[in-house]
Amino acid sequence: MPSAVTLVRSRTLAASAEYAYAATAPANARLIFLAGSCPLDADGATVGVGDYAAQAAMCVENMRTTLAEAGAEITDVISTRVLVASTRQADLVAAWGVVREAFGAHDVPSTLLGVTVLGYDDQLVEIEAVAAVVD
């Protein structure tokens, strides 16, 4: 099934951004608001301790699971917010690279933030997302 999400490109803003500047969904779309996807395994343990990319990968995996359980997939995501517990831009970029690769051509509007601390022991990355589907 084709995605209800339409990505909006800008002809006047910087072309170097690795994401669409906006996204829309039709009025009849069902919106799905995901809680922050965390780098936790099925037992609740933090995976990839100290590794931003590994934690981002686990967040993406958990996000895909949640999307599927809500009747959606990654191409139905309309926006993301990637939170990285670091003040170093290189750490943010390490996490972002994994997220960007997971979304591929479906480069949804996204915000990448460095934050002081996240909720779980040893947690370095969290991904929030909103999706839209037409049932």
For residue range 95-113, what is the model confidence (pLDDT) as tens digits? 999 999 999 999 999 999 9
DSSP 8-state symbol, 43:
T
Q: What is the mean pLDDT of the chain?
A: 94
> Which is it for the CA torsion 68, 57, 75, 35, positive or negative?
positive
What does the alpha-carbon distance between residue 93 and residue 73 come to, in Å, rounded to a whole number? 24
Q: Which band of pLDDT confidence, cut at 50, 70 and 90, is reported for residue 129?
A: very high
**pLDDT tens-place string over residues 56-73:** 999 999 999 999 999 999
pLDDT of residue 52: 98
